Amino acid sequence: MSQPSQQPRLDVRGAVDLSALARPAAPPAGTAEGAPAPGPYTVDVTEATFGDVVQSSTQYPVVVLLWSTRSPASIDLARDLGTLAERAAGAFALARVDVDSNRQVAAAFQVQSLPSVVAVLAGQPVPLFEGVYPPEQIAAVLDQLLAAAAANGVTGAAPRGDGAGEEPAEVPEPEEPPLAPLHQDAYDAIERGDLDAAVEAYTQALRENPRDAMARAGLAQVELLRRTQDADLQAARDAAAQDPADVEAQLLVADLDVLGGKVEDAFARIIDVVRRTSGEERERARVRLVDLFEVVGSDDPRVGPARRALASALY
């Protein structure tokens, strides 16, 4: 199973329409078979109220837990996420959705396994991770989400929901030094959806300074978004399954897996391609894997083992 996604920058453009959801009963909470009772920054959401969650995500990030009483692991994750939400004191809100009672929400998020955690940021879904992980790993993913929220101007604070009558203080936005001109050009291009211009800006930054690690990582991330912007996940998986020898089909699925947080699956798929190919095809797969190492980050714990596996496959 993949570890939680730790992408340096989250793509918030999203492709899921969350606007047309209807009304059933709310799930029980605080019972032996249900999720823990909601904390001050946790709310149980139904299809009737999910539109409010999407709207509030324009002011502060919303972390959505999709859970079920059929998944005992969901209960532990609900408890850990509730603790992290309370500790964050309004930096984000936790919205819990019982998928058994709210199937349209689960369908909107294309849930494949439980528990699943996604975020809604500026009205758009951001995949985070599936399954249960230690709180410190989850906290690292949430830090990435908050950084993406700050980059997109979503810096408000979630209100307390426990009747305390107090609004938390605004979470101060950390002061950051201004970006270098070409980095700012790339960032502005990404914001307006011009990925080609972002690639040009990062490429020029690397021409001027081949050791610019931020430009190298930024270029890898934007190239990934550009390669996958028109891709359909199911169609890509079907094509890769039907023709395992189709290198481009395998590489596209690996790209989509990285975007979806399935980093280890993506690395393993490309390493398998490297083992099975030679010449130009092998080199294309090797270069793609190195690019994805940049996307994930060289300090990510999954990169080291994948580098060793790549070396073994090559030599």
Residue linked to tokens 């999709």: 66
Task: Please state which of the four CATH numbers 3.40.50, 1.25.40, 1.10.1060, 1.10.3680 is assigned to the domain occupying 181-314.
Answer: 1.25.40
Amino acid at site 107: A
What phi and psi values does residue 170 have, to the nearest 5 degrees? Answer: -55, 130
Count the Cβ atoms, other than its own, within 10 Å of residue 205: 22
Residue 36: predicted pLDDT: 79
User: CA end-to-end span of the chain, whole Å?
Assistant: 27
Residue 145 contacts residue 63 (beta carbons within 8 Å) = yes
Domain at 1-170: CATH code: 3.40.30.10
Residue in 256, 262, 10 with CA at minimum distance from that of residue 122: 10
Residue 17: predicted pLDDT: 34
Which helix (H) or strand (E) is 121 found in, with range? strand 116-121
Q: Is the dihedral of CA 265, 271, 276, 281 positive or negative?
A: positive
Residue 225 contacts residue 217 (beta carbons within 8 Å) = no
Tell me the sheet residues that pair with 118: 64, 127
What torsion do the CA atoms of 310, 248, 211, 187 make, to the nearest 10 degrees? -130
Residue in 219, 267, 240, 169 with CA at minimum distance from that of residue 9: 219
The whole-model pTM stands at: 0.47
Give domain limits for the chain.
Answer: 1-170, 181-314
Residue 202 contacts residue 218 (beta carbons within 8 Å) = yes
The pLDDT profile of the chain, 315 residues, written as one tens digit per residue, is 344 443 333 443 332 333 332 333 334 444 435 667 888 899 999 988 988 888 999 999 999 999 988 888 888 899 999 999 999 999 999 999 998 888 888 888 887 788 999 999 988 888 998 888 899 999 999 999 998 888 888 889 999 875 333 444 455 555 667 878 998 998 899 888 899 999 999 999 999 999 888 889 889 999 999 999 888 989 999 999 999 999 999 999 999 999 888 999 999 999 999 999 999 999 999 999 999 999 888 778 899 999 999 999 988
Nearest-angstrom CA–CA distance, 258 and 246: 19
